[in-house]
Structure 1
Amino acid sequence: MEFQPSDFEIVGENYLPREIKAAKRKSFKELLHEKPYVSIGVLLLIILGCAFPGIITGLEPSYMDLSHINVAPNSTFYFGTDSLGRDIFTMIWYGGRISLFIGLLATVISTTIAVVYGSISGVASEWVDDMMMRFTEIILSIPSILIIIFIQAMIGQSDPLSIAIVIGITSWMNISKIVRSEVRQIRNSEYILAAKCAGGHFFYILKRHLLPNFISAIMFMVVMNVGSAIATEATLSFLGIGLPIEIISWGSMLSLAEKALLSNYWWIILIPGVFLVITLVCITNIGNYVRKQNNTELSNL
């Protein structure tokens, strides 16, 4: 009996029979469900539209066409107009820039505070760590919306920067608890002790040794914080304590909801609400995927 070269297969430590390899191959539909391609694609389109609104529409978002007030969606005004005669289609893309800016800046602020605070708590002595964590739990026990309203009342002015700062400094607690737990697990590692003995200061050790070890563990919450910040800004505007109506964002557009519903002008609230919900759902799906990937990596260790 003669054997051909094709009858043999080179194997190694990671060898799997051909039948198992074939069973492990995933169909396109399975891959589509496994990775949030649709969410990434939709979110990318929204971000590009908000980043370059001048390509999509030639109108100014603050332009008031008093001859076309509360016009329903039609071929001229794709999403209709509001009670001031402003084109909602144009406002969606320009307002999205403000909402996304607030979400991203608030997340950067909250993540920075959480990383520094959690790392200090993680490397500190037991009583300092306990005191810092008790303070975090006290803040977490208070509804965040009340803290935001209190701080916003102290600041007085409402603009995208102040709103982002207020949201950022009130949404770092959960991430800091995870950072603290991760740091306490690795703080006595040899490479960290060696860096301390070599004279490395806290921020050097944080950047070079601590941050790379826990960044994957907090990425899920970082992504989710973007959506939470956007939703918080919309909630504040809906309550009438967010951005003023002349500063266009998805939240400030929703501040007209009460008058719109009473007057049956459904498009004024429905269309900004749909864009807000779609954005939040896409961010949530991406965040869940990041969490699953992190859990998979941990289970494989």
Structure 2
Amino acid sequence: MPESPLRSPSEEPPALGGASVAPAPDGIGIGPVEDLPAVGRPGRRAHARPRGRRRTRGLWSDAWHDLCRNPVFGISALLILFLLVVSVWPGLIASRDPLSCDLGRALDGPAPGHWFGFDAQGCDVYTRTVHGARASVAVAVCATLGTALVGGVLGGLAGFFEGWADGVLSRITDIFFGIPMVLGGLVFLAMVKAEGIWPVVWVIVALGWPQAARIARGSVITVRQNDFVQAARALGAGSTRMLVRHVLPNAVAPVIVVTTIALGTYVALEATLSFLGIGLQPPTVSWGVAISDASSGMQFRNAPHILLYPAAALSVTVLAFIMLGDAVRDALDPKMR
């Protein structure tokens, strides 16, 4: 019996030159078709490689991205940057000596070259307001760094190791929380007869560290319960490595938020203590000292400018630090998004 000239498509030899074959429309025989995409051919990839990988931002890069888009952060950061520059180099915008006074011009109003007038001692109010930023901002910055360091270290260690250390720290913080900041500052500074900014700084640190310690303790306890910390412990990581490499970088954000907001509080606290006559003392130039001098004898009734400008500078500084703290809190706290 003769062999049938028809072959099934599966028995056909492969086409040469890259042309594909397919059954004819009538189902008998085969017919050429156009080249199809080479899917799965050896030496070629089925899908094109993406040109770039999308990176996932971490906590700090994501927070910085949110801060850059927040106008509140931009305004407050510019104000604080200006205040820091003025505090370090007050001579850039005020060339006169803040201790150079002329009693003959006491309580005089604004004049050419003396835009804020003169105080009760005949000193230029503008010059003293500009130079007063140095002491007020220095006290706030040093006190904030001290409270963050002392409170963060003690609270972090207590929250990580727990046990008796956590119990002792909790009882000590309860005692300090019962002491009002202003009243405690009055008592402690009355016992210390030193001059300069450092007695005020040490008092604020001694009374302010419990808040940072409590925040750091709670944050460390929360981070310590995460899976990546337990995995590091299971892999044999020591306590020091876990604390430095895994716990602290993820627990420091709440402490930064609290200490940033505390900057404005400490500026106001220094002014309050100086206003009460127990903080910074003359010849130190600060906003609190200027407000105290303006309030003595109710001299601001006849010359309101001696109180207006130092109080305005103090208010703007406190507001700028509080705005900065709110912006940082919104960026670092996932619950605020």
Q: Deviations over 1:33-54 (max 9, x none)?
A: 6543222222322322232221
The offset of 1:160, in angstroms, is 0.7
CA, structure 1 residues 192+168, in 2 after alignment: closer, same or farther (shift >3 Å)?
A: farther
Deviations 1:6-53 (A, max 9, x none): xxxx9xxx9xxxxxxxxxxxxxxxx98654322222232232223222
2:138 to 101, 121, 134: 101
Identity %: 28
Alignment size in residue pairs: 270
Pairs within 5 Å for 1:283-294 = 283-294=321-332
Q: Which residue of the other structure, out of 132, 137, 157, is the alignment partner of 1:120?
A: 157
Take 1:191 and 1:150, find their aligned partners in 2: how far apart are those partners? 49
Matched, 1:275 2:313: yes
Separation in 2, partners of 1:95, 1:191: 52
Q: Is the 8 A contact 1:260 1:269 kept in 2?
A: no
CA distance in 1, matches of 2:234, 2:290: 55
Look up the match of 1:139.
Answer: 176
Q: TM-score, normalized by length of structure 2?
A: 0.72
Corresponding residue for residue 224 of structure 1: 261
Equivalent-residue separation in structure 1 for 2:129 and 2:242 (angstroms): 44
TM-score, normalised to structure 1, is 0.80
Q: Residues of 1 paired with 2:108 and 2:69: CA distance?
A: 40
Name the SS for the 1:153 alignment partner.
helix
Structure 1 stretches of 5 or more lacking a match?
1-9, 15-30
Number of the residue aligned with 2:114: 77
Higher helix share: 1
Where in structure 2 are the equivalents of 1:1-301 lying within 5 Å? 34-187=71-224, 189-190=229-230, 193=233, 201=240, 206-259=243-296, 261-262=298-299, 263-295=301-333, 297=334
* CA–CA distance in structure 2, aligned partners of residues 46 and 115 of structure 1: 27
Q: Describe the SS at the equivalent of 2:207.
A: coil
Distance 1:65 1:185 in 2: 61
AA matched with 1:193? R
Measured in 1, the distance between the counterparts of 2:189 and 2:152 equals 24
* Deviation of 1:255 (Å): 1.2
Q: Would you say the 8 A contact 1:254–1:272 is kept in 2? A: yes
- The letter of the residue matching 2:316 is I
* SS of equivalent to 1:255: helix
CA distance in 2, matches of 1:33, 1:120: 34
1:262-300: per-residue Cα shift (whole Å, max 9, x none)? Answer: 4522111111000000011111111001111122x3577
Q: Does the CA contact (< 8 Å) of 2:152 and 2:255 recur in 1? A: no
Amino acid at match of 2:218: S
The 2-side partners of 1:148 and 1:205 are apart by 38
Question: Do the aligned partners of 1:158 and 1:242 also contact (CA within 8 Å) in 2?
Answer: no
